[in-house]
Amino acid sequence: MLEALRKLMLTINARAQDKSTFDALRRLAVLAIKSGPGLMKQIEGINEMADRYEAEIASWVSHEALARGEGGRFDACDLRHWLVLAERAGVPFVPAREILSLTEDEMSVASGSVELPGVIARRLARAVRDHIPHAALTPGNIPPETVMPNPDDVREKLADAMDEVPYGHMVRHVRCGPSSLKALAGCGASGPEAPEVRFGPDLEVGPGWIRIGNRRMVDAADKRFVEGYSEGPSGPSVFVARPWVQAARFFVGEDPHRHGTQFAGKGIWPAEWRAFVENGEVIGVSSYYAWCGQANPENARMALKVRAAAQRIIDEARRQSAVPVYMDVEFLRDSPHFKDVAERFPREAIACTLDFIEVKGTPDGKPSDGLMLLEGGPAYTRAGGGHPCGFAGLDRPEGVAFTVLPGVCLGDPKTWKDGNRTGRILSWAEVETLAAEAKAA
């Protein structure tokens, strides 16, 4: 049953990606047709945003700089920076080894698209800066800056990257994980081992990779990989391999994603947690898969450990003045409609989310205090950013959200409304009291 469910979810995920790509291209074509004479004004707007964007990211520091103890602003979505900060703070983390770096053009070829949306925008902006005559500037005649790479060479590069990656590992972009893994994890079908699903002798899908014939290759066409890179800074697209870490505990519950279908039933989810940070302080912790969470002494004890581990990482970031940046928030700072967001998240203050998994030990066999950092990301704001998990429906993630509020479906933001928090979202004082019961036992 689990194998059949995995195949179904991966098939649906692949078809959804195809439809999403088609819809995006169709919208782009319609926009170009409707714009007419107004196209240049839109391009100039893109140009202004691109200038601001490039100026911002030019100031960002590399993860190597953070490793040397230097400070500065950095991409909140880049896994490498968070792992460096965790290591410096002495917090265990799931390691990641760089296996592949693709140029912008190689990523365009590998994604299966003619052009990535971000690439189109950047080339339009550059065209304006290069003073291409307005009459000659149309979406169809933007000159390529380089000869596009040979697709066969790119595919070989994707395959070469997997040659030294053992089975039982997952692959991800430094800015996000693969949609194939999200599809399986979301419905509770990922299981304790790395989900590697065979569709036949010549086709296999793993977390972040595919095998066609006798060679595996990085699945650079994965929708989340493409979106993550397109929304991020220009430059190389970097992929890493990580060992699949088995969780110490698993939660079992009814899967809301399959409710009302012939596949309705229970799923199994690893014990993972998300910490919410604002102004350099961990203000909230939530069960990551909050639809199957429960407020009990053991979960309360772990939530407090998550807060402590996350705060150690943030304290290290503060010590070396390392500030995560999420460009969606930066772009709205001048907007009168989001004044409250800008005030709540000051430019130089540390705001983010940090995700942890409960483990019995580290991949290299060393003992662990029960938690390992998985990744970090942007803060949860009403203008976007990190997912609120069990805090869906609340403006501010304070205390501990063990499970979602009544009537809330995490897959449907229209249902995100505040409600009865009793036994679901507890204050820190209530969590400490509950956790004391676990110690007494």
Indicate the residue among 209, 243, 277 that finishes a domain: 243
Closest CA to 245 of 96, 411, 36, 62: 96
Q: What is the pLDDT of residue 175?
A: 95
Helix (H, G, I), strand (E, B) or coil at 340: helix
Query: Hey, what are 84's tokens?
Result: 């460096």
Are 245 and 258 a contacting pair, CB within 8 Å? no
Regarding whether 287 and 236 lie in a shared domain, the answer is no
Answer yes or no: do 111 and 220 share one domain. yes
237 and 260: one domain? Answer: no
In a domain, 390, yes or no: yes
Residue 277 CA to residue 120 CA, distance in Å, equals 34
DSSP assignment, residue 115?
A: S
CA dist., res. 32 & res. 175, Å (int): 30
What integer pLDDT is reported at residue 200 of this predicted model? 63
User: Is 64 a domain residue?
Assistant: no
The answer to the question of residue 78 being in a domain is no
Q: Is the pLDDT of residue 45 over 80?
A: no
Q: Is the pLDDT of residue 20 over 60?
A: no
Cβ contact 316:88 at 8 Å: yes
pLDDT score recorded for residue 41: 56
How far is the C-alpha of 213 from the C-alpha of 136, rounded, in Å?
A: 46
Buried b / exposed e along 325-353 (16+ C-beta atoms within 10 A) = bbbebbebeeeeebeebbebbeeeebbbb
- Among residues 405, 426, 428, the alpha carbon closest in space to that of 416 is found at 405
Q: How confident is the model at residue 2 (pLDDT cuts 50, 70, 90)?
A: very low
Q: Please indicate, yes or no, if residue 83 is contained in any of the structural domains.
A: no
- Of the candidates 217, 223, 279, the one whose C-alpha atom is nearest the C-alpha of residue 21 is 223
DSSP state of 367: B
Whether residues 226 and 349 share a domain: the answer is no
- What confidence score (pLDDT) does residue 252 get? 84
| Number of domains within the chain | 2
Query: What is the structure's pLDDT at 93?
Result: 96
Question: Are 210 and 116 in the same domain?
Answer: yes
Mean pLDDT of 122-147: 48
- Answer yes or no: is 69 within a domain: no
Are 193 and 271 found together in one domain?
Answer: no
Measure the CA–CA gap between 190 and 180, rounded to whole angstroms. Answer: 10
Q: Does residue 122 sit within a domain?
A: yes
The residue from 215, 243, 271 where one domain ends is 243
Q: Quick check: 345 and 329 in contact, CB under 8 A?
A: yes
Residue 204: domain span: 2-59+95-243
Residues 239 and 270 grouped into a single domain: no
Q: Among 243, 270, 293, which residue terminates a domain?
A: 243
β-pair partners for 171:
241
Q: Is 89 part of a structural domain of the chain?
A: no
211 shares its domain with 343? no
Task: Tell me what the pLDDT averaged over the chain comes to.
Answer: 80
